[in-house]
Structure 1
Amino acid sequence: MRQNQGLLVAVGLCIFFYGLYSLSHPKGFSASLVGQNANESFVLVAAAMAQTVPVLTGGLDLSVGAVITLVNCVASHVLAGGALENFLGILLCLAVGMAAGLLNGCLVVYGRLQPIIATLASGTIFMGVALFLRPTPGGQVDGDLAFAATFDLDELLQAAGAAPLDGALGFVGKIPSPAIWMALLALLWAYYRRTRYGLGAYAVGASQEAAYMSGVRIQRVKLAAYTLSGFFASVGGLYLALQTMSGNADIPQAGSYTLNSIASVVIGGTSLYGGIGGALGSLFGALVLRSVAFNFRVFDEGSTLGLLANPLYQPLFEGLILLAAVCLGALWVVRVKNRLRVFR
């Protein structure tokens, strides 16, 4: 429990804030409300998981939001055909994200640039390409594919050709599709964490010199980490296109996803120094951020907490809650008796 304290704090905060929201909402705990909230949260979840992998190696990826936006614009061009064309388009979107992540890794490993500088520069390039592809918002995404990928399991099975199962699963069939995608990303992370590259990422983040002396192939580990980060970001961009059924090279939105992904990583218990934490904690960290924002929707302006319903004050309260959550996750530092343990 001590090793997973950050994850446990994130899970507890998520349950608290989303439980409070559901109790205050007229349709609280209903499948429709959970599905809607999962839809609104998935892209940030993917961004947070994308940010986690470079952070574990001691780096930071400031291009996460730009990669999401780039893949969103690419998807708006290639996901408007038949089944085969859509399948190939999905593969192309994922490949674009992984290529962007690999480019970041090459800049860090072979260019010997600081990750912040390298990803800041590459992110600007990715946004430029996105603006070239979509100078104005637009495009089209296949409606059936978008509905199946963003609604629930029943619709997903029907779109996959398993029509006899549609409606036969009862409550299970009402599981929101984004929740399924989150579970698959979590399984991918669990597999990666147990590979030599996943273990190597923790080793490099904890001490690059010790990892090198232990035989860890640092260059390959970092390249794999940034490539996986690009994959997670591409999943977020792909889902954004399916959710909005269009593409938009929105620079403020890209910046928002990047900054919120870093906040989600911190809330989830991953150390920005590297070597501690995991993408599962970041997943719940992203859900905490979204749950806090959801709560502001259910307050009546005439109630005792009506001040929270004012959109002008919401960023202030979100920041205060975020600060409190981060401090709560860092309470273990106060109890450390030997200061050297803080830097391990």
Structure 2
Amino acid sequence: MVEVRSAAATNVRQNLAFYGAVALLVALYLVYNMLHPRGFSAAVLIQNSNESVAIVFLAMAQTVPVLLGGLDLSVGAIMTLANCIASEVVHGSPLQIVLGMILTLASGTAFGLVNGLIVVYGRLQPIIATLATGAVAVGLALFIRPVPGGNVDDDISWALTNDLYEFVATYGFFNADAAWFQPVAWIPVPLLIVVVIAFGVWLPFKRTVTGRTIYAVGSAEGAAYMSGLPINRAKIAAFTLAGFFAACAGLYLAIQTSSGNADITQAGAYTLNSIAAVVVGGTSLLGGIGGAIGSLVGALILRVISFYFRIVSIDPLLQPLVEGLVLLVAVSLGAFRTLRVKNQLNLFR
């Protein structure tokens, strides 16, 4: 019993930033719903979920390179490229739609793989390599979609941006009015998509040798090398997975808006917000500490902060200032423990 309590206490100490982020998210969202005229309703939850998916996936994408101790400045650009590709191929017959979605995800994943190969075999710092490849991705996006537009299947756009009831009713899998289905019919599909990807892709990957090596490299690359861990494979896998998550963001953005847009400003803003979300979620920019689930929570915190501007009377010109100050405080609190230790290994004790 004593050992169990000790292990639980150790877990809490090691993940204090994550638990703090979860508590902050719950508090912020509860207060938001209490202030919202239609708070605690399915309609509000669906709208909030739709607006959060892209930044959540992008925060997860940024997490993996950060765990290595680097930054990926191309995630927003890869998202934009995937968004433009999806606007060209996600329509037609059901088979064509599925193939279009696979092509979109594969293109982002392949771009992430290229990032990893450049970092490993080109021996470039991730921040420099991805800054360059990000410009290439935006250029390709502009080539595919010179002006905003495109065509995304209406049924899939409607089904994946609403609740489970509408999803089932759209495709007729079974009777959406069945009594047994009603307790879960209100659940937003966007929320389910995020949960399935996060727990179906990230958690299994994290438990693999490659996933553990990513943490080891971020904590002490020299020690990881001396231990015989597959460092190069871990680095390539990290950027490849980042490309996959960024492509998920771009694909969903196309489904949500039914179009593609090679917006350079949007790509840059999403990249910066993904870095902030990673830190707010408890992942250290020094590497080796944190995870994609924490970044998911951090991204939701950022999004909930933006939701407040709809219900609180703040001058639009002051909104960026307020949001920036809140982010600065949150990031500072998240980094405080890292800043006050002299030996990074102390973070694991």
Q: What letter matches 2:137 in structure 1?
A: F
CA apart distance, 1:199: 0.4
CA apart distance, 1:329: 1.9
2:198 to 186, 189, 206: 186
2:283 is paired with a residue whose SS is coil
- In 2, Cα distance between the equivalents of 1:112 and 1:161? 52
Query: Which residue number in structure 2 is paired with residue 296 of structure 1?
Result: 309
How does the TM-score come out when normalised to structure 2?
0.92
Contact 1:10–1:267 (8 Å) recurs in 2: yes
Query: Which residue number in structure 2 is paired with residue 234 of structure 1?
Result: 247
- In 1, Cα distance between the equivalents of 2:338 and 2:120? 32
Query: Which residue number in structure 2 is paired with residue 249 of structure 1?
Result: 262
1:210 to 223, 229, 236: 223
Could you list the runs of 5+ residues in structure 1 that have no partner in the other structure? Answer: 300-305
Query: Which residue number in structure 2 is paired with residue 172 of structure 1?
Result: 184
Q: What letter matches 1:332 in structure 2?
A: R
Q: What letter matches 2:39 in structure 1?
A: G
2:162 to 151, 170, 176: 151
Query: Which residue number in structure 2 is paired with residue 25 of structure 1?
Result: 36
2:152 is paired with a residue whose SS is coil
Q: What letter matches 1:324 in structure 2?
A: V
- In 2, Cα distance between the equivalents of 1:54 and 1:341? 18
CA apart distance, 1:296: 1.3
Q: How high is the sequence identity, in percent, across the aligned residues?
A: 55
Q: How many residue pairs end up in the alignment?
A: 334
Determine whether 1:45 maps to 2:63.
Answer: no
Instruction: Identify the range of structure 1 (160-169 vs 64-73) with the bigger mean alpha-carbon deviation.
Output: 160-169
Determine whether 1:321 maps to 2:326.
Answer: yes
Query: Which residue number in structure 2 is paired with residue 303 of structure 1?
Result: none
Instruction: Identify the range of structure 1 (1-10 vs 159-168) with the bigger mean alpha-carbon deviation.
Output: 159-168
- In 2, Cα distance between the equivalents of 1:61 and 1:226? 8
2:175 is paired with a residue whose SS is helix
CA apart distance, 1:166: 5.3
CA apart distance, 1:343: 7.5
Contact 1:51–1:261 (8 Å) recurs in 2: yes
Query: Which residue number in structure 1 is paired with residue 7 of structure 2?
Result: none
**1:31-180 matches, cutoff 5 A:** 31-165=42-176, 168=179, 169-180=181-192
Contact 1:127–1:251 (8 Å) recurs in 2: yes
Instruction: Identify the range of structure 1 (180-189 vs 137-146) with the bigger mean alpha-carbon deviation.
Output: 180-189
Q: What letter matches 1:179 in structure 2?
A: L
CA apart distance, 1:261: 0.1
- Partner deviation per Cα, 1:151-177 (whole Å, 9 max, x = no partner): 111222344541324554113111001
Instruction: Identify the range of structure 1 (171-180 vs 147-156) with the bigger mean alpha-carbon deviation.
Output: 147-156
